[in-house]
Each structure stands twice: as structure tokens, then as C-alpha cells.
Amino acid sequence: MTHTHRASGRAGPEHDEEFVDILEERRRSSDLGHALRTFNPHPYRGAPPCSTADLNKAVLESQYLRYVAKEIAMETGSSEEDVREEARGILEEMSQNLQLRFIRLMGYTLTKVFKRLFTGIFVNMEGLGTLQQAIQEAPVILMPNHRSYVDFLVISYILFTYDIPVPVIAAGIPLAGMKMVGEILRRSGAFFIRRAIGSDKLYWAVLSEYVKTIVRKGYAPMEFYVEGLRSRTLKSVTPKLGMMHMVLEPYFKSEVFDITLVPVSISYDRVLEESLLAHELLGVPKPKESTAGLLKAGKVLQEDYGTMHVNFGRPLSVRQLCQGKINRCQYNSAPRDLPQKPTEEAQACVSWLAHLMVRIQDEGSVISPWSLMACLLLQAPMAVLTEEGLPWERLAERTLWLRRLALDCGAGLNWPGQTPDSDVMSSAVALHRSVVYRRAGRVYLLQQEEPARKRPISPEEAVMRIATAVLMLASYRNQSLHVFARPALLATALHITKSTQRDELFACFCFLQDVFSYEFILVPGELSQDFEEACVLLEKCGAVHISQQEVTLSDMGLEALSFLRALIQPFIDSYQVMFRYLSEEGDPVLTEKQLVPAVRNRATKLILSGELRTYEALSSDTLKNALSALQRLEAVTKLRTPEQNEYKVNSAAVGRIGDILSGTIPPQMLQTTPDARL
Amino acid sequence: MSCLNFNVSHVLSQLNLCQYLPFHRQEIMKWNGWGYSDSRFLFNKKGQAEFTGKRYKLSGMIIPGLKEWFEGTFGANLQHKSPPILNSSAVRPPTLNEAFVEELKSTGVPFSHDAEDRVFRAYGHCVHEIFALREGRIGRVPDLVVWPNCHNDVVKIVELACKHNVCLIPYGGGTSVSSALECPSEETRSIVSLDTSQMNRILWIDEKNLTAHVEAGIVGQDLERLLNESGYCTGHEPDSMEFSSLGGWVATRASGMKKNIYGNIEDLVVHIKMVTPRGVIEKSCQGPRMSTGPDVHHFILGSEGTLGVVTEVTMKIRPMPEYQKYGSVVFPNFEQGVACLREVAKQVTPDFYLIFSSGHALKPQVSSIFTSFLDGLKKIYITKFKGFDPNRLCVATLLFEGNREKVLQHEKQVYDIAAKFGGLAAGEDNGQRGYMLTFVIAYLRDLGMDYYVMGESFETSVPWDRVLDICQNVKARIVHECKERGVQFTPLSTCRVTQTYDAGACVYFYFGFNYRGLSDPVHVYEQVEHAAREEILANGGSLSHHHGVGKLRKEWMSETVSNVGIGMLKSVKDYVDPNNIFGNRNLF
């Protein structure tokens, strides 16, 4: 009986939830029957159905768009009619055209695809039940994380199967450009948003009115990725606030009584795009989304990707969450349709909520045994992984140790209880034979063979080959990183400060959080709670003793502390490469295009000379995050030039941050303003 | 202009058997409920609802359907009664200021410290006030009641109060729903209730300028009847007009249901005389408008008894309307009804029409109480042929007044607009019935309280574009809060639009719930109303359209008028009444 299982260990109300494999029934009955099933959902009580034409008409005729059109006409000197015509064009490109027929088509296709790819798609039925209820009571926003293109329609698929209204989904415009597929997605409820909207006022206006109208009408749930894009590292991404603000505004302005947010955590045993992502991170450009590309992916469909978990979180009332955080009276003195800059209060509230959603998505994700193994594999010296091999027994023993630590930290693990532990771990390694292999009781990193090599491989190329595997491994480690992030930052602070004083540790903890704010997504304004949480968790796993003033190390906890520190170390090392490069570089103005390859070159040299141990310094995501952090800490300023992003570097400031990170100078509190980009 | 006999007061003339209010109002009025003692709803031995007495059209009639509606809406049960506990002996003996009483005697102004007189003037009609009275819980009450007969009596009383540092609380009709009449518990001085009911004369009528000079204690129905006898009317008809007084209207910025024709109280008043601790305030002439700095009338209008006693008022009057016509329109839903009202407010000159109700308050279940609101045929027509959903129906009642030709013209105009919004004319009878209902609806709450049902209405004013949102959100908030606080039955939570303006509308909310099983129902009620008011404010609604602030809503005053605004009001108070003689502590 393997069709249901429990995710164990997670704290909170979702504790011990039952997951059911929804593919099980599909394997037993007709796919066509499923696609043609009677679909009879209960929609939001207050809302009559709304056709695409009615929706678009409401948007175009809205007072808000009229104001904006008038403004733009004045600014550009064109006629209001032209501006509105342009708006109509934007809307046409954007709008979804949800049709049940296409949902059925989509359902049929996805059943075929999913059955081939996955051994199971596990869904928490209780979450679906509460969602069904919630959808009748208020407009619902589904907020999944995004780790693979596969999950784009999976929620629609599940909702269709369980008679829950199918959502309209915010998607990136490249998908719309795919022949046929774009149109099918559109009719399955996708609406398309351009990338890099920047300061295109009319586009923003059309998009925001479109989103707000859907929320106000509430006839269908809305789904969007608060992270804005698919995470290429399987790690949560700093949430984008624009869309979040649009979605919340109807509540802020009292146009709806409440809005329900439903975080959804989608977790994979194995991600289809794993090697593609690693190549991208190493600077091999991402192929443009195209239908042909999708068909070529046929090879990908031959492989086994284990299971997928879709965990529907508890529905959250925006009204309740925003209590005391937003004063709705601020919208009382001007027409609500008037375009207005959001107040600081509103921005802070949006940012807080967006981060909170990411945190809940993290907490709801289901962690595989493989992810724990990846954490440990990455901590082994590279020579061991590539040449000597890591003894299987050692890895297995450490994994079981780590399982305990993860459970202590409140992780939701997907560790089958009925199967012997050794079999669980063996099958995890077998599933990931694209990354590691096991031979003669030892585990090795797989380095991909290049077909038909003409010349001997250069040292730089060898580095890249290892890096590909390392970054894949790092992605799987990242799946469980959020579980350990807080205690790991504290463990690092203990190491850097060599202090036991709580206030010194807290200062260092804050500094680390500041520097790594793009790596570990913490909720803004809750640093002291995070610190407390970190203390409690470290104490719980026996690593420290906590008193009023002090955090002292315990002899029992050295293994945990060194594991946690080693988890952060690759980030520190990678950032230091970037910091050193910038503080040594004479030229104070750089473009991002130059910078990333230059630092990557430097890192490659350092790896070859043995000075740098982590291959993660080669990842463009890591480097860009480091650059963003420097910007946030005001050591680097972005210069707005029309052609490309240029950065002005304050070498001294960068150097200082590097020194604090290495512990040579003590951390002073770096004051930064809360990050609120809309 | 000739005056026809047909007018609104033919309804009212049947209401009032005794002419003016007596000294001891408890002789004809309930001391722990609404209105006349002889008029009340009850369920008779057969379980049928009945309205007693002879004063109203509905009096003596059986009301079919009320029982079903009552049980269905609130989950109430006729077996579960919660009758009032009669216990007026719990009144604490008065704290008298002997020197004040001595000097008062010498003026010859009648007064009393009889317990019943004092209790009657200690409360308004908020649900918590009535509930406490029904439970026999009586808090701080005035120590003395005085009945001045004219302006000069008031001058003497105020002088004596200042001299002996006695707290004065003016009392008019007693229909307050803002805790304005409650004696502040922290007040240690002797509290004197100044009952204006004996100042009830029309002093003169100026037919050349169409004004009347009236003593402020007169209650609405007497004022209207007396003016009618001379062929005039004021047109000011608040729902409480049977009992509320002219002085009270001025002190709370009252509004009447015909305000679209005649205006609100601030538009009707030409001259006001008020006695304050500093002396008498009044303007020097009867000019219809002045540019003489801020209008001092506006310190008086809405002062809620904190500055002095309004004693005499000159009001605009008009010849009684030549022609009057009721009407009603049924809309498929509230949204359409509101859209229609908004359009009417835009298009039709306000002189001759009145629209006063739209909303679920007259849902078929409710209205079936009143015999044949939607008689069989019509109901089938509306629900089957026009595709109306009977649960979402909404009714607007109309009253047109004035020149016959113009009335008919405006009537047509309004019905044409209504048709564009899916409205169906539902007849004159329904309109008139709805209008008459206004006066008896207040009696329903007492019936509810006999059976564990507690109810209240409250109002706000809001810009047009927010009307629908505020209705939806406040209603939802009420249901939500009740659930949260353990109310076991779904509450009645509904609303109607009662007044329209160029830039917005006045919205009434009705809230009632079955309180069986709650240990402290009043507290629950107050929490829900508090939450509802917060919701109103968050939705861009005002703190009050015409009920006033009193003590019930004063916590929101500074955010409503800003701190500077409060400072302005306070500085006027400090100048006019430095010793807080008018110490009811309303407003701020």
C-alpha cells in the first residue's frame, strides 16, 4: 500500500498530513473518461461567471485606465484614443481565454505526460478540502512555488480532477510565443506578462487593472508565482512585489471583503530541467521556449523522475494578516480609481506578506532523502567525490544522522517508513544517476562524457565539467536549505565572532542575513524572531546552551555545528571571491555582462590553484545575488544607462564587508532600508 | 397655491390621541421600550403576531407571516421568552444640591425628583440602554427633572446651575441612539435633566417670508399638525418624528426622509436662540444667508447638548403640497437598485421627488408581514416571467410631492430611469405601506427582545462609488464577527439606502441576532457594532450621517475631524462653558 503516505515531522497544524497519489486512479481508469468527466465546481458565492469579452471590456472601460490614458496622452502628445487603442492591443496580447474544452484537452494530455514522468503525484487531500471551502467564501489567490515548467498546469489539473474552479494563471510572455502551445495555455487559463516591463506606464496600468478586475470579480481563483520566475537553483527566490501589490489592492481599497491566499508547495524528487539549469548557471544560455524545443524534450520523457508532491497550504485571510499593518482609511480621501503611488505602509505590508508566503511555501515543501544526501555529498572534499569515492556506509550513516537533525528543525520529510532505510537511500542514488553513481561500495560524482572529443580536455574545461555536477547537487541541497538556514546562520555567527554574548551574536546574525538576503529568504522585520528561533533549534539539537545573556557551545553539538557551518561556507567563499575581485579591481564602473564572466574566470583560476574549494562560485545566480546584496548594502550603486546596467563600485565599502565576513573586523549593524521594489 | 386635504399627516393624525407630551411621560409611553405603552407587537394565544392599540393603521391587526419570518430569520422560538423584569425600585436616591433646589423653588419652575421621572430621562434607545432597563439594571440617573415653560425659565435655570455648580443635561424627545443621554458615571455633582417638552408652542408664523418661530421643545408630530392647521408644513420628517423634538434636531444635525424636497435641518433653520452659561447666543436678524465669518449656527447645530439649551428656532415653512403620490419599484437586485438611485440623483432636479428606501429590508418575507406586499399574481409575474430571484429582490419606495403636473412629470421620469435598471413599478399601495412602516418598525425590536432577539440599526453616509462595497463589506463583517463571538444563529445583517445626495448616499444597516446561549449578549452586541463601525470607517463611510456621536462614537471623533478640529471644538466649549455645566460629555 504505497498510494498514500504521511509527511512526518513538520510542526504546526499540517503535522502528519495524509498525501494521496492522484495518478493511482488514472492508472486504473480511462484517461479519456477523466478528461470528459462532469466538471461541477462551486464557485465563489458572490460571483456570476464572467466571459473573457466581459472581463476585457470591464478592464478597458475602467475609470482607472481612463485616467492613465489621459495622463499618458498629455505626456506624449498623442491622442487619448491612440493610447486606448494601444491599451487594447496590450490587453489582447495578455488576456486569458479560459475554456472548459481546453481544460479537458489539457487534462487528457497531462495525464499521459504525468504517468510517464512520475511514479506518483502526491496531494494533501485535507488541503484540497479546505481550498474547496475557501473558494466559495472569498476570492482565492493560489501561490505556488515554481521549480519546473512541469508544474505550470499541475494545479489546474488537480483542481479539475476534484471539482474545484480552475484558476487563471499569470505566465511569462515567452510561453505565449510558442506555436499552438501558447494558444492552448491561453485557453487553459494562462494570461501572459511581458518580462522587464520597467517603466512602461501603460503596460503596468493594463496589467494591474486586469489583475485587480479578476480579483474583484472573483469568478475564478488566480494563480501566480510570487517569486516571479522559475527558480534555477531550486532555492526560493526573493519575491517580486508588483503582482502581489495588484492582487492585494482590492482588499486595501475595500473593494472586496477579504482575499484568501493559498500557498502551495510543489516538491520534486528529481527535476526535469536539472542539467539544463546547471548549464544555464554556468553561462550556457537558456534555449528560447519553442514548440520544437518542447518536442525535442521527448528524450527527457523517457526517464524516471520519482514523485511530485503538491502541498496545498492552509488558506490565509488577507484581512486577518493585515490587521494592524494597513490602515484602509488612507484610501478615503481620493477616488480609488485614481492612479496613486502606493504608500510606504502599503509597500511594507506587501513586502512582508510576499516574504511570508515564500516562507510558508518553504515550510510546506516535502524534503526527499536525496536532498539530505546532497547536503552531505557537497561537504566532502572534491578529490574524494571525483577520485577516491565516498564510502557508502559513511554516507548512509551520516544521512541518517542528518535525518534526525532535519526532523529536529521541523522539516517535512518524505522518508517512506515501510521501506528499510538502506533501500530508501539506494533508490535515491539510483534515481539520481545523472549526478552520482555507486561502485564497489563507494559513491562518485558523475562527470558527463563529451561525445567525440577531438582534443584533450583543458584544465578549465575539467573544472566546468565538475561544476555542472556540483551545481546539480547544490540544487538538490537547496531543497532543504531553508530548514537549516536560521540555525546555520547562527552557527556561522558563533564561528565568526568567537563570542558567546547574545547581542554580539545577534549583530553578526543580522549582518549575515543582510549579506545573504538573496540566498536565504527571511521575512523582513522579523530578524529577532528568526534569531530566537535559531537559538531554540540549536539548543534542541543539543549544540548550544542558552541563557539570558549567552549562547555557549556544547561538546555534544560539534558535529551539528560544523555541518551547519559547512552548509553556509560555499556561499561565504563564493561571495568573498566577488568581494575581493571588486575591491581589487581598479575600474570602479562595471557592467553586469562583464562582471559575471570575469569573476567566473577568477574563480576558475582559484579552484585550479587550490585556493578556492567551492565550485558554486561559478554560478551566475550566486554572483548576481552577491552583486544585489552589495547594492542593498550600498557598496555598489546601479547607474541607469539606457543600454545596459552599469554598476559603480565603492571598493573600500566592499572590502569592509568582506573583512567582516571573514571575521577580521567586528560587524557593526549595517543599516539598510527595507527592500520594497514595486 | 391651494392646499388639498390629502397629505402625510392623515397617517399621523390617527397616531396621537393626546395632544402634547405630559410631564410624566411614563403615563403614556414605555419606560423600557419604544413608543406608546398601548402600542406593541405580540404573539397572541394562537401564536399569531398582532399589533395592539388604536394609534396606527396597523393597530389591532393580525400580521400573518411575521411569526414565520421571525422564527426563520433569527432561529427564535415562541417557547423561549425573555420578558422584561419590572423593577423600578432599584433607583438610587437623588443627590440634591439643596441651595439650587431652594432657589429653583422660588422661580416657580416645576421640578420633580420622583424615581420614575428620573429613570425615564436617564436613557435613550440604544440596545444596551433598553436591555439594561428590561433587566432592571439601572445605573446613574439624573437627580432632578425640571420642566421650563419658556425661554426665560431656561435662562433662570442655567443661571442657577452656574451659580451652584450643578450639571445640566437637556432632554428633548429622548430618542437618542448615541448614548448621549447617559449620565457620565464620573459626574459627582448633582445632575439635573432639563426637559423641554413644555416649551411646545408655535410663537408666530410669518406668511410673507414663509417662516415660523417655534419653541424648541415641540415634538415633530405636534409641529407638523399645528402648521397643517394653518395650511403649512416644514417637510422635516425624521423616522422618530412622533417623539423627537425640534431642539433635538438642531442639537444633532437631524435629517428627514423628505430632505430631498425640503432639506436637512441645517437648511431649514433661519434663526436659533440658545441659552449657554455665557449668556444667550442668537443672530441679530432673519437674513436668509450671511457672510459674517464662520456661521455661528454651526457651533450650535450638532453640539449635542454640550454648550447650552436651544430654546427657540425660526424655521422655513412651505404651503402644504398640492399633490402627493406614493410609488414603489422592484429591482432584480440591490446593485441595480443603487445604480438607479445614483442615476436619479444625477438627472432629476431634487425639488419634487423623494426616494427613500432601497434594500433588503423589504424583502418579500419581511414585507409579507404587511398583508399583501407581493400578492400571488404579481409575485409569479415578477419571479417567473422577469427572471427575478426572489431572494435578491430589492424595493424602492417613492413619494412625490408638489404641483400636480410636475409630480406626474417627475414620476414618469423616475420610472423611465428605473426601467433602464430593470426596475418594475410595484404600485402606489406598496409605496404608502413602506412609508407607514417607518413608524412601526421601531416597535419590532421590543418584540424581538421578548424572545431573545437583539437588534439595532445604525447609519453612515458614503460617496456613491463606495455604496455597494460598503454594504457588502459591513454586512459581511457583521456575520463574521457574530460567528467569531459564538453567536449560534446566523444574524440578520442587511441594509438600505435611505437618502441620496449629489455626491453620495446615506446607508442604514440593520443587525439583529438570537442571543440564546450567550452569557453577556450586550457585550457581544457592542463588540459587533464596534467592529461594524470600524468597517464603515475603513470603507470611506462617515462616523454618522444624522444620529450623532454622543458617547457611543466619540472614540473615533479625532480621526474623523482631525486633532485640530477637536481642538477647535474644545476651545469653543472652554469659552462657552468653562465649568462644564452642560456636562453630558458628548462628542469629545
Tell which residue, B208, B209, B203, has the closest CA to residue B223: B203
Q: Which residues contact residue A249 at a Cβ distance below 8 angstroms, ignoring those fewer than 6 apart?
A: A208, A212
* The predicted structure's pLDDT at residue A198: 78
| Cβ under 8 Å to A: B residues 166-205 | none
Q: A19 vs chain B: nearest CA distance in angstroms?
A: 31
Which member of A46, A256, A329 has the closest CB to residue B538? A329
* The predicted structure's pLDDT at residue A229: 86
Tell which residue, B439, B501, B545, has the closest CA to residue B259: B501
Rounded to the nearest 5°, which phi and psi values hold at A354? Answer: -60, -45
Which member of B473, B537, B559 has the closest CB to residue A257? B473
Cα dihedral B544, B547, B549, B553 sign: negative
Q: How many residues appear in chain A?
A: 678
* The predicted structure's pLDDT at residue A297: 61
Residues of A in contact with B473 (CB under 8 A): 254, 256-257
Specify the DSSP element, H or E, that contains A607: helix A592-608
Most confident of A459-463, A501-505, A554-558: A501-505
CB contact under 8 A, B466 and A254: yes
Tell which residue, A293, A280, A140, has the closest CA to residue A219: A140
Q: Which residues contact residue B563 at a Cβ distance below 8 angstroms, ignoring those fewer than 6 apart?
A: none
Q: Which residues contact residue B523 at a Cβ distance below 8 angstroms, ignoring those fewer than 6 apart?
A: none
Q: B336 vs chain A: nearest CA distance in angstroms?
A: 15
User: What is the pLDDT tens value at each position of chain B, 588 positions in all?
Assistant: 222 222 222 333 333 334 578 888 988 999 889 999 999 999 988 888 889 998 888 888 888 778 888 888 888 888 888 888 766 667 889 999 999 999 999 999 999 999 999 999 999 999 999 999 998 888 999 999 999 999 999 999 999 999 999 999 999 999 999 999 999 999 999 999 999 999 999 999 999 999 999 999 999 999 999 999 999 999 999 999 999 999 999 999 999 888 888 999 999 999 999 999 999 999 999 999 999 999 999 999 999 999 999 999 999 999 999 998 888 888 888 888 889 989 988 887 654 444 444 433 333 333 333 444 444 445 555 555 566 666 677 788 888 888 888 888 888 988 999 999 988 888 787 777 777 777 888 898 999 999 999 999 999 999 999 999 999 999 999 999 999 999 988 999 988 888 889 999 999 999 999 999 899 999 999 999 999 999 999 999 999 999 999 999 999 999 999 999 999 999 999 999 999 999 999 999
* The predicted structure's pLDDT at residue B520: 93
CB contact under 8 A, A254 and B537: no
Q: Residue B226 CB: number of other CB atoms within 10 A?
A: 18
Q: A91 vs chain B: nearest CA distance in angstroms?
A: 25
pTM for this model (two decimals) = 0.90
Residues of A in contact with B540 (CB under 8 A): 254, 329, 331-332
User: What is the ipTM metric for this complex?
Assistant: 0.87
Q: Which residues contact residue B336 at a Cβ distance below 8 angstroms, ignoring those fewer than 6 apart?
A: B394, B421, B422, B423
CA A318, distance to chain mean position in Å, is 21
Q: Which three cell numbers stand for residue A196?
A: 522587464
Quote the CA–CA distance of A242 and A247 in Å, as a whole number.
Answer: 9
Q: A334 vs chain B: nearest CA distance in angstroms?
A: 10
CB contact under 8 A, A255 and B469: yes
**Residue A335 sits at the chain B interface (C-beta within 8 Å):** yes
B56-62, long-range: CB < 8 A, 24+ apart? B56/B14, B56/B15, B56/B436, B56/B439, B56/B440, B57/B11, B57/B14, B57/B436, B58/B370, B58/B436, B58/B440
**Residue A252 sits at the chain B interface (C-beta within 8 Å):** no
Tell which residue, A379, A480, A394, has the closest CA to residue A443: A394
Rounded to the nearest 5°, which phi and psi values hold at B153? Answer: -60, -45
Q: Bridge-partner residues for A489, per DSSP?
A: none
Kindly state the percentage of chain A with pLDDT values over 70.
91
**Residue B559 sits at the chain A interface (C-beta within 8 Å):** yes
* Residue B448 is assigned to a ligand binding site: no
**Residue A133 sits at the chain B interface (C-beta within 8 Å):** no
Residue A263, SS3 per DSSP: strand
Which member of A254, A336, A337 has the closest CB to residue B538? A254
Smallest CA–CA distance from B464 into chain A, residue:
A335
